[in-house]
Amino acid sequence: MGVPTLGCDCPVCMSTDLHDKRLRPSVMVRWRESADGAPGPGTGAGRVVVIDTGPDFREQALREKLTRVDAVFYTHSHADHILGLDDLRPLSFAAYRQGETIPLYASSETRAVLERIYEYTFSPDATYPNRARVRLEPLAEHNLVHGVDFIRVPLMHGQMEIAGFRVGNAAYLTDVSDIPESSFALLEGVDQLVVSALRYKPHPSHATVDQAIGWARRIGAKQTWLTHIAHELGHEETNRALPDGIRVAYDGLTIPVIL
């Protein structure tokens, strides 16, 4: 819902700490590709991949001075993860002038929702001239974007199967309420873990802080960042109670990743 939450005057929503101002969840992975086309990063062109375009995507893109998006990966089709798709338009026009469209990687379930909501963009009969110049791509287990492998990590979000992502030594697992046993193999060797933890109290489709701590320990991440935080969790207060190596993430946080 974002923090402050609409209509709420709890201490976290009224907090003056900028860490308690939370837009809807999204991350960007930024790197320079290799100059000679070999796999992995290097000294070539700058590349940007975004995971989810929520309702705050435009504001986040302005804050981070985004001038290009090379691909988007979608975790699932809930509003807080997809409703900024249309704000890809200006960036997609730049790509389109070079004869390209921006690939959007999505599961078949997510794809069906995107095609319904953004019918004027994806319909074969779409004629709206200012539609986003994007294309839907199937989400595979391995998805190579300019030499970097984005690995889908199946997660449960209540009754719904959604996608987490592993890239290099980092993983982004948002909206998770359970990690299937088979997904832990995909998370071996993750040093930087970003995992969602809504609050302390159990929720049918989101992890609690304690569940997230348990997964962080099992995965053995060197540093874990909690995300998708609700207004029950004050930044400073929650951090004080967390064990070493686990901290609450905040808007604008930058994490070094080895790709």
Smallest separation (angstroms) from Zn ion to the CB of 168: 24
- Please, which residue, 74 or 105, has the CB nearer to Zn ion? 74
Smallest separation (angstroms) from Zn ion to the CB of 27: 13
Q: Binding pattern to Zn ion, positions 8-37, x when CB under 5 A? A: ------------------------------
134 forms beta bridges with 102
Pick one of 80, 87, 191, 251: the residue that binds Zn ion (CB under 5 A): 80
Smallest separation (angstroms) from Zn ion to the CB of 67: 27
Please give the torsion angle defined by the CA atoms of residues 117, 120, 126 and 128, in that order, rounded to the nearest 10 degrees. Answer: -170
- Please, which residue, 95 or 139, has the CB nearer to Zn ion? 139
Residue least distant from Zn ion (Cβ) = 78
Site for Zn ion in 168-227 (CB under 5 A): 175
Q: Does the protein bind Zn ion through residue 111 (CB under 5 A)?
A: no
- Whole-angstrom distance between the N-terminal and C-terminal Cα of the chain? 31
- Please, which residue, 56 or 70, has the CB nearer to Zn ion? 56
Q: In 23-165, which ranges are continuous DSSP H helix? A: 57-63, 79-82, 89-97, 108-117, 119-122
Residue with tokens 């951090």: 239
Among 34-42, 71-79, 114-122, 216-224, which window interacts with Zn ion (CB under 5 A)? 71-79
CA distances from 122 to 55, 126, 180 (A): 19, 7, 32
Residue type at position 147: G
- Please, which residue, 92 or 183, has the CB nearer to Zn ion? 183
Are 29 and 49 in contact by the 8 Å Cβ rule? The answer is: yes
- Please, which residue, 47 or 78, has the CB nearer to Zn ion? 78
The pairing of beta strand 71-73 with beta strand 102-106: parallel
Smallest separation (angstroms) from Zn ion to the CB of 77: 8
Smallest separation (angstroms) from Zn ion to the CB of 110: 11
Smallest separation (angstroms) from Zn ion to the CB of 206: 8
Q: How many residues in total does the chain contain?
A: 259
Own/partner long-range contacts of 63-66 (Cβ < 8 Å, ≥24 apart) = 63/251, 63/252, 64/28, 64/252, 66/28, 66/91
Q: Does the N-terminal peptide bond of residue 39 adopt cis geometry, omega within 30 degrees of 0? A: no
| # of chain residues touching Zn ion (CB under 5 A) | 3
- Please, which residue, 95 or 248, has the CB nearer to Zn ion? 248
Pick one of 19, 22, 47, 78: the residue that binds Zn ion (CB under 5 A): 78
Smallest separation (angstroms) from Zn ion to the CB of 219: 21
Site for Zn ion in 117-176 (CB under 5 A): 175
CA separation for the pair 92, 232 (Å, rounded): 37
**Ramachandran class of 81: left when φ > 0, alpha when ψ lies in -120 to 50, beta otherwise:** alpha
Binding site for Zn ion (CB under 5 A): 78, 80, 175
